[in-house]
Amino acid sequence: MNKKNGITWRIIPVFLVLVMILTACGAPSTATPVIPETGPTEAPATEAPATEAATEAPATEAPTEPASSEPIKIGTLTDLTGFTPWSVNVRDGMALAAQEINDAGGVNGRMIELVVQDSENNAEVGVDRFERLVEEGVVAVGGIISSGVGAPVAAVAEQEQMPLFLVKSGTEAALTRDSRYTFRTCLPSAPMVAAPVLQYAQEQGFTKVGAVVADYPWGQSFRAAMESAFEGSGIEYTIEVAPVPPDTDFTPFVRAMADFGAEMIVGTGHPPGNSAITTLSADLAGNVPVTGAWIPPDLAVGGLQDLAIGRYSDFACADYLSDSYAELAQRYLAFSDNQFMSDDAVAGYAIVQIVAEAVGEVGDDREAIAEYVRTHEFNPPGYAHPLSWTEWGELASSAPIFFRISEGPAPEGLNEAGDWWLELLTQSETLTPYEPGQ
């Protein structure tokens, strides 16, 4: 992709083990580390206590080694083949953060270097590319979108003791109670995602809600979560399981929603089918709202056009209506070739900022980096909620926004994909973290 601005990063082709050797990027030792817009705080009292970063210095300090000028390598592992529009946003969000850190002098004079691998929405490929990043000497890896990739890669990350940051890989199988190196950054675990749907349905006084879920891990996980959330709520619900496109005819599934009398159709459990479900529901079910699957808004509207206005709604970990998002998005659109800054890009930006800060505080030791992340709370720009984690890496403060596509107009400089904009419907209460084994 043609960039509007340069960035020190490197893409390793699939067919090469190593294509080049990069020289270290030095900088004056007086440079200071970049501090995020809002600095971290100690983790909430419910989290594991923070480990002291260093012991008290002795009366006579021993000679120290010169500060390293080697670049800080951070791996970008995402589905550039498959979930391409989502993953390009992640990649470019990470790239923007790296460039801004480097332009400000780096981390104690050390430059950020991104090493990019395409996981191809394939579990085996994802594991292979992750292992290549480990061999490359990265201090952390971030960017995974697919649930099918996230779970197997997370298992290897725990074995390798490599900090791993998931973006939209919501399968609960990605984390175990013993996980210490894997962290969610945007989409919470699938069992947590149905709660905001129920909250909105209750706020609107709906009595019947229908859902179409995909016949693969994410869809099945969401189905179980919705059944658990809605059971005993007083709201009637029905769930249809549909195959994955391109050979899927969604007509019978959407018609079942209409026959049921659904006042809201939930497509959160079927990301590939969101466009078809929204389109068909306009004819078969009337003007009922349709909830999406944490999809980038420009991607959702692009497939629906006017059908999205006033009907398509979705969730996001980014607060698209905040000042901090607006400031970040303007820089992002000037930096990249993208037309909108999705929450995937916001999460990618945060991942690099968090890793850079951790390295600035504790160095390159991967165990120390993971411990620093796990025991601190961060407030990255553009987020709808703080980032903090349970002991096993689940989001501890997730509170996504729920928005609807509106006619707009969009604020100047924030949407190059059209005149439409976003209307806030509600913000979820802080979600109870899912504990593996529940």
Per residue in 421-432, pLDDT (tens digit) is 999 999 999 999
User: Is 437 part of any domain?
Assistant: no
* Residue 195 and residue 175 share a domain: no
Q: Is residue 58 part of a domain?
A: no
Task: Return phi, psi of residue 144, to 5°.
Answer: -70, 135
What is the rounded distance in angstroms from the CA atom of residue 275 to the CA atom of residue 378? 34
Per-residue pLDDT, averaged over 84-93, amounts to: 94
| Per-residue b or e along 179-212, where b marks 16 or more CB atoms closer than 10 Å to that residue's CB | bbbbbbbbbbbbbbbbbbbbbbbeeeebebbbbb
Whether 192 contacts 433, CB under 8 Å: yes
Specify if 62 maps to a domain.
no
Question: Would you say 199 and 430 are in contact if contact means Cβ atoms under 8 Å apart?
Answer: no
When pLDDT is cut at 50, 70 and 90, the band that residue 67 belongs to is: low
- Looking at the structure, tell me whether residues 273 and 344 fall in a common domain: no
Domain that holds residue 250: 190-316+400-427
- Under a CB-based contact definition with an 8 Å cutoff, are residues 194 and 228 in contact? yes
Comparing 48-52, 107-111, 422-426, which segment has the lowest mean pLDDT?
48-52
Residue at 329 is within a domain:
yes
Q: Would you give the DSSP letter of residue 389?
A: B
Q: Which H helix or E strand runs over 99?
A: helix 84-103
pLDDT computed for residue 66 by the predictor:
54
| Predicted pLDDT of residue 218 | 86
Residue percentage of the chain with pLDDT more than 90: 77
In this structure, are 195 and 183 located in the same domain? Answer: no
Dist. CA 68–CA 363, nearest whole Å? 10
Q: What mean pLDDT do residues 341-349 have?
A: 99
Strand 182-184 relative to strand 290-291: parallel, antiparallel, unpaired? unpaired
In a shared domain, residues 114 and 139:
yes
Residue 333 shares a structural domain with residue 418: no
Residues 183 and 198 in one domain: no
The arithmetic mean of pLDDT across residues 59-85, rounded, is 77
Chain centre to alpha carbon of residue 8: 23
Interatomic CA distance for residues 347 and 344, integer angstroms: 5
Cα 43 from chain centre: 20
The reply to whether 158 falls in a domain is: yes
Give the separation between CA 434 and CA 177, rounded to whole angstroms.
10
Mean pLDDT computed over every residue of the chain: 88
**Phi, psi dihedrals of residue 164, rounded to the nearest 5°:** -130, 130
Q: 223 and 309: one domain?
A: yes
* 92-102: burial string, b at 16+ Cβ within 10 Å, e else: bbbbbbbbbbb
Are 128 and 216 members of one domain?
Answer: no
Question: Domains in the chain: how many in total?
Answer: 2
Within a domain: 433: no
Q: Does one domain contain both 231 and 154?
A: no
Q: Quick one: pLDDT at residue 61?
A: 46
> Confidence class of residue 303 from pLDDT cuts 50, 70 and 90?
confident
Residue 78, H or E segment: strand 72-78
Evaluate whether 330 touches 345 at the Cβ level (below 8 Å): no
Nearest to 171, CA basis, from 91, 269, 47: 269
Residue 72 DSSP code: E
| Mean pLDDT value across residues 361-374 | 99
40 band by pLDDT with thresholds 50, 70 and 90? low
Strands 140-144 and 164-166: parallel
Determine the distance from the C-alpha atom of residue 431 to the mean position of all C-alpha atoms in its chain, rounded to a whole number: 16
Residue 308 and residue 422: Cα distance in Å, rounded? 11
Confidence of residue 304 (pLDDT cuts 50, 70, 90): confident
User: What CATH number is given to the structural domain containing 266?
Assistant: 3.40.50.2300
Instruction: Indicate the range of 47-61, 182-196, 303-317, 394-408 predicted with least confidence.
Output: 47-61
Instruction: Kindly state whether residues 214 and 198 are assigned to the same domain.
Output: yes
Do 241 and 358 have their domain in common?
Answer: no
Do 59 and 137 contact (CB within 8 A), yes or no? no
- For 248-275, what is each residue's pLDDT tens digit? 899 999 999 999 999 999 999 999 899 9
